[in-house]
Structure 1
């Protein structure tokens, strides 16, 4: 607003000199804050009343400051101090506008302080688009509209009466603002909390599971020997936190097993049990039962807890968490069928769950890879080469057809990149094939290859270079935003080359540490501390997305990148520290009990 520059003076409560505000400022302020009468009919009555009180108090404060010539006039401002504090919470014109800073932060604490002084207040971000009477983008679509660099959305922090709706605030701004901006809507900290029947049912379910876990813990602790007890007692003991904690936190070392890398378990197991006709079906059922229940229950936690996350960070992200929770209420069933990676991220429920489905789909395709490998080396190479080439061709087609960027750090095309390349299980099949071959090699070899052992140092150097390229090579594509973008073929080659390098690095580290080709790294990777952390790997993964919101929600302002070190110390490390104990409890209540129940009921049907 034009008056914003002058209203900055109102944030100073102490008046030292005569005529703190210029003569005529009050009339200027009155004219610029004069809302046309026709606008009031578009607002709710309570919003009109409280907004009028706020604007009138600002004008009265200006009158006092304009005529003030001593400190005694501060007493006159006391009656209108709430308006000064409320306006102080508004966002001002920020520095760095030429650097495309699109968020004007206010003071969340100041808005909380004024809450209830005259009326309840709400801290919000008013979403603005350039141009008068412009068409607002679809804010509900978190992908196409938000990631298109041509859609510039500015966010202005405002502290408004709680009675004013999003449409009310947009109407008021458009009626009194002479800036070439159009108000679209507000994203506010205080939201209506819907305690529905399903919310109550889910809380009841979690309460019941907690009671079962505590009861099982008590019984298991005082009756340790469960072999002679009936089935009901043994089922209850499967939920014992005492036994499950011991299982997870055990550091007992198994000979020849690399504890820090868990994905080899399935790959080496395949080569040992392929002769059984029913083994694969049982293994798929077992994997499904291990993966889905902990994930689905935590999706419920994410969905029903989102409404309680209040803070500037949440609303500065377009209220992203609430929108994801709303998606979950509609498409939660997709996760049951392991199909979430086929959907666009903006249409998906709990975004990180795509990796679970992609991994399961690769596991589903594993017989097509393992059976030819076990028949003969020639058949195995023929089949895996055909799958790898087809996967690479599919990648080239996706990049060419959709004109995709080389990675998901670029805004333009990010939605398509994530949907058709990053989340695709088939385009990840080449890395899965390498894992199967590596698992077979480690399972059948007692000693390392002489060639690899003799060139171990060179391979470690190459791994270091490859790691550097994987992490920093992508910066070459975004180092200069003014340069021409990569063409689709180069983007596809960049993507394939990056993934191939990363597979080489991981494979060499696993192989080297398995055979102790580097004592330093082998000591670190094979340390016993990785064993309990490895068992918590899946629970940490499904929890970390929600925990990121928990950590970021502690801030009183929108996210602002300072440095990688700042991100590591303020976000990454706190998230990891909080995830580990949360994952310990979650795994003990929902992941480990399923494995113990499976062993209890299906032990007669399998020898695994």
Structure 2
């Protein structure tokens, strides 16, 4: 493409510098031309983008008779090319403005684009600095009082790294806790992060894009597409933990109509502080954390919906307001909207169920849950009859949550009981469990990728969720009942227990890490199993490290503060992710 097609030469300063570079400055001319994207190799494999040399371009700086010439890198993207990222990198003088060619988009960056902080950045960094200073004072106070064996003020150690670190890295659990949940939670989180890496790749140029799209639409990628089951597992665990803690304390009548506001307030204090921090990270310093030919564009894709649509994000209804990730603020947090909406309606089941149990009406209590489960299956099936599958909507995901509530009640009622299962029956159930889980994981792709048979798709999705939840129930039951000691030992290991406490922060922070690692690339990516496995391991490691900082700085102190403020009136329960 000719320089005149993207550069506005009517601007005198631009015209002078372009003319000087082309006619008089051979070194700068060669650097700029060399930094331009060329005709890419591998076009028959689907490589339709040549990014050029980003770093070489933005580092051009030379004093000349026509002023200081500095490089500006522009990514020219050809839009409306079906399922393909196409474009090239261009290097022009910084003083030049660009004009938008027909059917193309241009994103330009200079060396100052990611190093110059604005007022929003300074404000947010100041807030983080205040938190860091409070953590320092609280930690010093905690250390000093421990050393001299002085009485501690509970509020003064809320932000102590020592106290919160002990809570985070404590591997001993109480006798009434179910340790295998930690392993299930962590494995599900790893599955989600690994699958999201593939979906973020859709925003990037891929060297073998033709193979990538054929692979993504084939059954070979079922383990990526089926990661939605991990989301259902989280919903199931949410219901399980809530019911287990509620019914375990039913003699205290932990949840009543007057305490419902505290029930909701506790949940909001659990969710909102980390959500708020990650929201402002995306709006401010994320764009300054790295650089690259694609980085600014990827960050803007995340920032723009949060600037325009922040209210549904904080009010937990964006999963119904929007049905595509381009419009949602931090699209992966649609799950939190689903989770909170389910939490809003949970007292309608828990309060009458608790009263029935106090009156020893166990059969009626189970009938109540059975009726709720039946509604959670039939209502979505009727609503979705003959229409496209709605991935984000809460009514399509109620059944795993209800089954979690039921299993939580069952485990409380039978926590001191050991079931003796005949060996043959035990192996048969495990075989059916594994087959069912494989069928759910493998064939769910048909509902999201291959067919437009909405009726059969929705029937399968409607019944696959209870089936998957039933399989998770069996895994938990087997671990608690000590039928599978090896599996229980694996799922209850110390690493999983610690990482389980990080899961909420990991869920929020995963996109920051994915944008940071993948958006910083200087060359088109290659879709191949082993490179992506290596990348996923790095993503999980970095996400875990950042989550430790997040938990020690915000999550753990706020949870402790919420318990202290609401302790007298709140229902005694904490729903963990």
Question: Shorter-chain-normalised TM-score: which range?
Answer: 0.7 to 0.9
Structure 1 counterpart of 2:194: none
How far is 1:240 from its partner? 0.8
* Local SS of the residue matching 1:455: helix
Is the alpha carbon distance of 1:518 and 1:580 closer, same or farther for their aligned partners in structure 2, counting shifts above 3 Å? same
Q: Give the 5 Å matches for 1:137-536.
A: 150=82, 154-167=86-99, 170=100, 182=102, 184-190=104-110, 192=113, 195-224=117-146, 233-259=153-179, 260=182, 261=185, 263=238, 264-273=240-249, 275=253, 276-277=255-256, 278-308=258-288, 309-315=290-296, 319-344=297-322, 345-371=325-351, 373=353, 375=356, 376=364, 377-394=366-383, 396-397=384-385, 400-401=386-387, 403=388, 421-445=390-414, 446-447=416-417, 449-450=419-420, 455-474=425-444, 485-536=451-502
* Structure 1: distance between partners of 2:424 and 2:261: 42
Q: Relative contact order (C-alpha < 8 Å, sep 6+): which is higher?
A: 2
* Structure 1: distance between partners of 2:570 and 2:147: 24
Cα deviation, 1:203-247, whole Å, max 9, x if unaligned, reads 2211111111110010011113999868xx432211111100111
Structure 2 counterpart of 1:543: 509
Partners of 1:226 and 1:234 within 8 A in 2 = no
Structure 1 counterpart of 2:228: none
How far is 1:53 from its partner? 3.7
Q: Which has the larger radius of gyration?
A: 1
Q: Which runs of 5+ in 2 are unaligned?
A: 186-236, 357-363, 573-577
Is the alpha carbon distance of 1:152 and 1:390 closer, same or farther for their aligned partners in structure 2, counting shifts above 3 Å? same
* Structure 2: distance between partners of 1:256 and 1:564: 41
Q: Which runs of 5+ in 1 are unaligned?
A: 2-32, 58-78, 130-136, 138-148, 172-181, 405-420
Partners of 2:377 and 2:462 within 8 A in 1 = no
Normalised by the length of structure 2, the TM-score is: 0.76
Out of 9, 18, 33, the residue aligned to residue 51 of structure 1 is 18
Is the alpha carbon distance of 1:265 and 1:495 closer, same or farther for their aligned partners in structure 2, counting shifts above 3 Å? closer
* Local SS of the residue matching 1:122: strand
Do structure 1's residue 575 and structure 2's residue 575 form an aligned pair?
A: no
* Local SS of the residue matching 1:247: helix
Structure 1 counterpart of 2:360: none
Partners of 2:283 and 2:306 within 8 A in 1 = yes
After TM superposition, the structure 1 stretch with the greater mean CA deviation from structure 2, 378-387 or 237-246, is 378-387
Partners of 1:369 and 1:384 within 8 A in 2 = no
RMSD between superposed Cα atoms in Å: 3.2
Is the alpha carbon distance of 1:602 and 1:487 closer, same or farther for their aligned partners in structure 2, counting shifts above 3 Å? closer
Is the alpha carbon distance of 1:229 and 1:327 closer, same or farther for their aligned partners in structure 2, counting shifts above 3 Å? farther
* Local SS of the residue matching 2:397: helix
* Local SS of the residue matching 1:435: helix
Aligned length: 493
Partners of 2:76 and 2:90 within 8 A in 1 = yes
* Structure 2: distance between partners of 1:452 and 1:164: 79
* Structure 1: distance between partners of 2:61 and 2:35: 11
* Structure 1: distance between partners of 2:62 and 2:424: 74
* Local SS of the residue matching 1:223: helix
Structure 2 counterpart of 1:9: none
* Structure 2: distance between partners of 1:336 and 1:361: 13
* Structure 1: distance between partners of 2:98 and 2:3: 20
* Structure 1: distance between partners of 2:41 and 2:137: 58
Cα deviation, 1:394-434, whole Å, max 9, x if unaligned, reads 2x24xx44x45xxxxxxxxxxxxxxxx22212211111011
Is the alpha carbon distance of 1:54 and 1:367 closer, same or farther for their aligned partners in structure 2, counting shifts above 3 Å? same
Partners of 2:266 and 2:570 within 8 A in 1 = no
Structure 2 counterpart of 1:16: none
Normalised by the length of structure 1, the TM-score is: 0.73
* Structure 2: distance between partners of 1:152 and 1:564: 20
How far is 1:284 from its partner? 1.9
Partners of 2:399 and 2:465 within 8 A in 1 = no
Partners of 1:166 and 1:185 within 8 A in 2 = no
* Local SS of the residue matching 2:78: strand
Is the alpha carbon distance of 1:581 and 1:128 closer, same or farther for their aligned partners in structure 2, counting shifts above 3 Å? closer
Q: Give the 5 Å matches for 1:547-558.
A: 547-558=513-524
